[in-house]
Structure 1
C-alpha cells in the first residue's frame, strides 16, 4: 500500500512536489507509544518495517486486540475520522520504521486521489472483519482452539510477538498459554 501510493503520486511531478512533505518517515524503538488511550488520533501510520499493537487498559490489565506488520496501516480509525478520543493505545512491539501522515494531509490526499479513498475503505472493512472474527472466536472457541487458529492463520504473530502479548490477545494468562503450548 505504501509504495503503491507513493509511486502513484510520483507519476505526476507537480503532485509529488506538493505531497512529498506529507510522508514523514520515522524510526522508533520498541515500546514507543504512538497514541495513548484518551488522546485524539492526529496521524495514520504506514508500517515499512516492524510490528505495532493496539491495546487498552481494563482495570489495570493490558488487553491486546490487534497486531500490525509491514505494509499495513494503523490508526485509531474512529478517533482519526471523527476527532473523538481514542479508546485504545497504539504501541510498537519491535523497532519500527513508519511513514506518518497527518489527518489534514490525509484528507487532502483522499480528495486528490480517489483510489486512495477506496483503499482506505477496504482497510476499514478488513478491520471490521478482523474484529468480527475476534469477537466470534472469543464466544465460540476455547483458548486452545484460538491458539491453534493463530498458528495456522497468523504464524507471523507467533514468530515475532512476545508471549505475554499473545496471551493477552487470546484472552488468557501467560501461564495458560504456556500450558497450551506444552501440550503439543
Structure 2
C-alpha cells in the first residue's frame, strides 16, 4: 500500500507552484462516487480512504497516508464518473493539482512522467493482490497480511473501516483480534 512518490524531489521543484495546499478536516469528501475527478492529491499529512457504495453499505478498499498520491485515476484521465468516493479519515494537509496542470507537468518532464507511470503500475499491482486475496484468502489471513505489511493502518484507521476493507463485520474483526 506504500507506493509513494515524492513531490519534494528536485524534478518536482519547478512545478510545485501548480499545486494548491489545502487543509481539510476529517470526514471531508474529496470526490464523490459518480462525479468526475477534477483534481489529484498528494498527502502531506493525514489519511484518506477510498470506498464505494454497495447496496447502501460503504466498502473501504484502500487507504492512503503521508507521502502518497491519490485520485480516481480512471476518472481523472478519462473524464468518466468515478467508481468510488475519496474521503479524509483524519484532518489532512493536501496538495491538489488540476488535470490541466498535471498534464503540463507530464508534458514537460520525462522523469516525472516515468515516476507517475511507476506509481500507477504499483497501484495496479496492489489492486491485483487485493483482488486475488479476496478470492483465495480468508479474513483472518487478510488481517495477518495487513498487520504484517501495513501496521500503521491498524493504528490509525477506525475498526469499522478496517473490517470493511477486510470484507467482514466489526464483530468478526474483534474476534480475529482476540485470537491473537
The normalised TM-score by structure 1 is 0.92
SS at match of 1:144: helix
Larger radius of gyration: 1
- Runs of at least 5 residues in structure 1 that lack an aligned partner in the other structure: 11-15
- Larger RCO (alpha carbons 8 Å, 6+ apart): 2
CA RMSD of aligned residues (A): 1.0
Deviation at 1:116, TM superposition (A): 1.1
Taking a change above 3 Å as real, the CA distance of residues 59 and 71 of structure 1, as seen in their structure-2 partners, is: same
User: How do 1:1-184 and structure 2 match up within 5 A?
Assistant: 1-4=6-9, 7-10=10-13, 16=14, 19-184=15-180
- Tell me, in whole angstroms, the C-alpha distance in 2 between the residues paired with 1:24 and 1:97: 10
Taking a change above 3 Å as real, the CA distance of residues 128 and 93 of structure 1, as seen in their structure-2 partners, is: same
Deviation digits for residues 18-58 of structure 1 (CA, Å, limit 9, x no counterpart)? x4441100011100000000110111100111110100000
- For this pair of structures, how many residues does the alignment match? 175
Deviation digits for residues 83-123 of structure 1 (CA, Å, limit 9, x no counterpart)? 11100000001011100000000000110111111111111
- Tell me, in whole angstroms, the C-alpha distance in 2 between the residues paired with 1:41 and 1:97: 19
Q: Which runs of 4+ in 1 moved over 3 A?
A: none
Deviation at 1:8, TM superposition (A): 2.6
